[in-house]
Amino acid sequence: MIKVFSRTVIGLSLALMTATTFAADKAELAANAPDSYVVKKGDTLWAISGVFLRDAWRWPEVWKMNQDQIRNPHLIYPGQIVVLDRNSNTLSMGRQVSGGVNGVEKLSPQVYSKDVISPIASIPLDAIRPFLTEPLVSETEDSPTEPTVVAIDQERVLAGAGDVIYAKNLNGNPIDAWHVYRRAKVLKDPVSKQVLGYEAQYVATARVTIPANGDKAAEMRVMTSKHEIVPSDRLQPAGKSELLAAPPHAPMTAIAASVVSIYGGVDVGGRNSVIAVSAGKNAGLEPGHVLAISRNNGSTIYRGDSKAEVVNMPDTRTGLLYIFRVFNRVGYGLIMEASGPVKIGDKVANP
């Protein structure tokens, strides 16, 4: 059990305006915004905001209005209630307490006890957790000089978690933890056909138990594995998970890119699919950016009059993408909203 002071953790006053008083470039209330909402297990800030806002991803704009009072917008928990006060145009988050006037309950700062539970996240973390350290993208082709698995203990063919493997080309490298990976495919821009990088398939994580010495290979123990390790798999220093510190926001610069691949080797993606796009740090893309996904409808030939006429069709917006990991020329994102299938070659741009 822990004690939480509700004013510090959840006594939040969010300045909101109604849709009629919002400026054109401000987040607007949804037309059917309710008077209250009870936070449920599995909710995200994105989902909760979608109950009240027309564009759910724009919730940080609302929270920033009272950032002096809101120290950490993620510290809200299941069971708390979100109340919309239409008279003062504010949202208050807390727990209902008894003793209101004429049977009407009201919110009040209080100290209360509750079981330790996880706070609400911005987006579904379970959907992207494995991707915070994988996949791995390299801008150079494979090389025999890279750290490589050369053998498995007891001359076995495959290795998994708990097994011992041996690797070369680790001499002089002080890194202790390594990702084992397998080159899976080349990432190409579907429009320009330019090679953007080489996506490596994450296999496992291993830790050095006996460092390489002279002409002797390093001994490593496999800590976790997603796929079985085979000799010739490559290694790369294990990076730290890229924590989601950035709230969703629109890019400050114009982004014009395409869907490069849909992770997992499938041709079509949808809500909660992870996709790669043909823009990265070089284009100003960063974690937290939200992009609109659009289907290119191309053109059609109209034959209704005396001669055939080519008519260009408008693009159709099919979803929203949350960028969570960025390499130099490639970015990875989670499809948060989708009204139709997402395919390789679809456009991504500022929302």
3-state SS, residue 289: strand
Torsion, CA 122, CA 126, CA 130, CA 135, rounded to 10: -60
How many H-runs (helices) and E-runs (strands) does the chain carry? 4, 25
Beta strands in 155-287 (DSSP E): 164-168, 177-188, 195-210, 218-225, 234-237, 256-262, 268-269, 274-277
Picking from 270, 297, 292, the residue whose alpha carbon sits closest to that of residue 349 is 292
For the chain, the maximum distance between any two Cα atoms, rounded to a whole number of angstroms, is 84
Instruction: Compute the distance between CA of residue 22 and CA of residue 7 in angstroms, rounded to an integer.
Output: 28
Q: Read off the pTM.
A: 0.67
Residue 242 forms part of a structural domain: no
Straight-line distance from the first to the last Cα atom of the chain, in angstroms, rounded to the nearest whole number: 43
With beta carbons less than 8 A apart as the criterion, state whether 316 and 279 touch: no
Domain-ending residue, one of 84, 99, 122: 122
Residue 251 forms part of a structural domain: no
3-state SS, residue 273: coil
Residue 248 forms part of a structural domain: no
Residue 249 forms part of a structural domain: no
Residue 187 forms part of a structural domain: yes
For 232, the domain range is 130-237
Domain-ending residue, one of 98, 122, 146: 122
Peptide linkage before 211 cis (omega within 30 of 0): no
Instruction: Compute the distance between CA of residue 343 and CA of residue 268 in angstroms, rounded to an integer.
Output: 5
Residue 86 forms part of a structural domain: yes
* Distances from the Cα of 132 to the Cα of 20, 128, 202, 247, 324, angstroms: 40, 7, 12, 16, 8
Q: Do residues 183 and 84 both lie within one domain? A: no
Q: How many CB atoms lie within 10 A of CB 338?
A: 17
Q: Do residues 90 and 200 both lie within one domain? A: no
Q: Do residues 41 and 98 both lie within one domain? A: yes
Q: Do residues 6 and 85 both lie within one domain? A: yes
Q: Which residues contact 55 (CB under 8 A, 6 or more apart)?
A: 27, 28, 351
Instruction: Compute the distance between CA of residue 257 and CA of residue 284 in angstroms, rounded to an integer.
Output: 12
pLDDT in tens, the chain (351 residues): 333 323 222 232 332 233 223 334 666 778 888 888 888 887 877 888 788 888 888 777 665 444 444 445 555 677 878 777 666 555 566 554 444 444 445 554 444 444 445 556 667 776 776 666 666 787 777 788 889 999 999 889 999 999 999 999 987 778 899 989 887 788 999 989 999 988 888 899 999 999 998 889 999 999 999 889 999 999 988 876 555 556 788 999 999 999 999 987 788 999 889 899 999 999 999 998 999 999 988 888 888 777 888 889 988 999 999 998 899 999 999 999 999 899 999 999 999
Give the CA radius of gyration of the chain: 25
pLDDT at 258: 95
pLDDT at 305: 73
Q: What is the DSSP letter of 348?
A: E
Instruction: Compute the distance between CA of residue 291 and CA of residue 251 in angstroms, rounded to an integer.
Output: 8
Domain-ending residue, one of 207, 237, 267: 237
pLDDT at 102: 46
* Distances from the Cα of 72 to the Cα of 30, 85, 114, 177, angstroms: 24, 22, 19, 32
Q: What total number of domains does the chain contain? A: 3
* Distances from the Cα of 63 to the Cα of 8, 86, 106, 286, angstroms: 15, 17, 22, 21
